[in-house]
């Protein structure tokens, strides 16, 4: 169990390079199983979720090597064997191994994934789509077991644009001879990054808005690929700069992926300038913004809700947030209130009455983005704060404390 000690009150200033995207590298690591060779991935974040994914790959017989921001994965000797709870409980993204294991070996078995407790995140859409491809899936109390002896192409209409289901179905569809069409698929940039990787490996995939056409049945080959920048990491540092009334510049970032969040920050009084692969945010005075409603891409992302809420906690006026994606994503609110925030949350809505100042407190991170929100609030608060259970934060941020220190934040790790 780790902890951060934070002394607030210092505006963040300076320049920071954004790491590779957590939500890209995890499905791409799983997708490397399809190639049966050595893939070289660049701009990889060194975070605990990636370490968990590499552990699963090694359990499946793959060889992995990580050096700096480069990861090499040799999947030539990969096999399909049960992935137990000791590995899946470390990250929700473990479910993404279903698709590639079925595509290459025709069978997959894993315990139900863990990760952040954000409410129910059922895998029924994954299983529905896989059954359309000819898979036989059994789900029990402990996990799920699937076989796909005769994969078949067809049309799959998702009732909700689930990111994980879209990714799993794309991966499984590479084994289906003919054309598989996925309708109402999620459109997040990380999915398009996965598609780009698969294309580099020889896959034929067309994307038309929320429709994915996969022409499967052909063998894929390994490749060298660069992971896209992490838009949620960028959001967190932008929110921290806004909360502390700072002035930061971000490099290795895709501003077009952050349109919905940048719109909210601009409405709140932040001055934002964009460049090619660059962003700058200056904030002298932050005002409330309402309403904010989370939605699938290209709406306001649910992962940005907690960090932006932390910034708005000390904005002038009243902001309203509606959470439509996860049922339990306000777990960070009690801790923010312990730090002097005035937030009322019930079911899907949170009403944020901006206060003049937050104050230091001893609080615990309950999930990845909620933990980042507590760090942001502590940086803006008067006095010292202690954030416990920082292992949640380290699942998705490489050297979070060091990056904030480089911008003038006063943090120490324990």
The residues annotated as belonging to the active site are 116
Sheet strands (E) in 296-341: 318-322
120 by Cβ neighbours in 10 Å (0-12 / 13-18 / 19+) ranks as: exposed
- DSSP-derived letter for residue 258 is G
Q: Are 130 and 172 in contact (CB under 8 A)?
A: yes
- Report the distance separating Cα 273 and Cα 17, nearest Å: 16
Q: Are 352 and 319 in contact (CB under 8 A)?
A: yes
370: nearest Cα among 211, 193, 201, 236: 236
- Report the distance separating Cα 141 and Cα 91, nearest Å: 18
- Report the distance separating Cα 380 and Cα 382, nearest Å: 7
> Given 3-state DSSP classes, what are the helix, strand and coil percentages for the chain, each rounded to the nearest 5?
35, 30, 40
The Cα-based distances of 306 to 116, 152, 321 in angstroms read: 13, 41, 10
């Amino acid at each position: 169990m780790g902890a951060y000690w934070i002394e607030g009150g210092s505006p963040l200033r300076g320049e920071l390079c954004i790491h590779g995207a957590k939500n890209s590298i995890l499905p791409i690591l799983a997708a490397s199983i399809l190639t049966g060779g050595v893939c070289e991935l660049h701009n990889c974040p060194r975070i605990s979720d990636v370490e968990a994914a590499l552990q699963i790959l090694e359990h499946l017989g793959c060889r992995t090597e990580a050096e700096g921001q480069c990861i090499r994965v040799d999947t030539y000797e990969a096999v399909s064997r049960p992935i137990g709870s000791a590995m899946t409980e470390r990250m929700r993204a473990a479910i993404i191994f279903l698709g590639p294991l079925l595509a290459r070996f025709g069978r997959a078995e894993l315990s139900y994934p863990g990760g952040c407790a954000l409410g129910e995140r059922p895998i029924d859409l994954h299983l529905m789509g896989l059954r359309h491809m000819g898979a036989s899936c059994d789900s029990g109390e402990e996990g799920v077991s699937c076989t796909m002896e005769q994969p078949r192409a067809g049309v799959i209409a998702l009732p909700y644009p689930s990111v994980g289901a879209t990714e799993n179905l794309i991966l499984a569809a590479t084994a289906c001879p003919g054309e598989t069409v996925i309708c109402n698929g999620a459109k997040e940039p990380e999915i398009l990054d996965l598609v780009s990787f698969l294309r580099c490996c020889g896959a034929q995939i067309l994307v038309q808005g929320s429709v994915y056409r996969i022409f499967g049945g052909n063998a894929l080959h390994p490749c060298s690929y660069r992971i896209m920048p992490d838009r949620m990491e960028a959001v967190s540092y932008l929110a921290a700069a806004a909360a502390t009334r700072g002035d930061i510049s971000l490099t290795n970032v895709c501003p077009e992926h952050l349109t919905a969040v940048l719109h909210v920050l601009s409405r709140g009084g932040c001055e934002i300038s964009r460049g090619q692969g660059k962003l700058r945010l200056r904030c002298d005075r932050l005002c409330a913004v309402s309403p904010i409603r989370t939605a699938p891409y290209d709406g306001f992302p649910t992962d940005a809700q907690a960090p932006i809420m932390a910034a708005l906690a000390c904005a002038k006026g009243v902001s309203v947030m509606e959470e439509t994606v996860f049922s339990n994503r306000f777990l960070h609110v009690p801790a923010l209130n312990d730090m002097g925030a005035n937030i009322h949350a019930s079911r899907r809505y949170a009403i944020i009455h901006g206060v003049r100042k937050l104050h230091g407190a001893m609080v615990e991170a309950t999930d990845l983005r909620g933990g980042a929100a507590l760090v942001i609030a502590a940086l803006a608060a008067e006095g010292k704060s202690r954030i416990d259970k920082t292992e949640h934060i380290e699942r998705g941020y490489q050297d979070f404390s060091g990056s904030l220190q480089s911008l003038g934040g006063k943090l120490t790790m324990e």
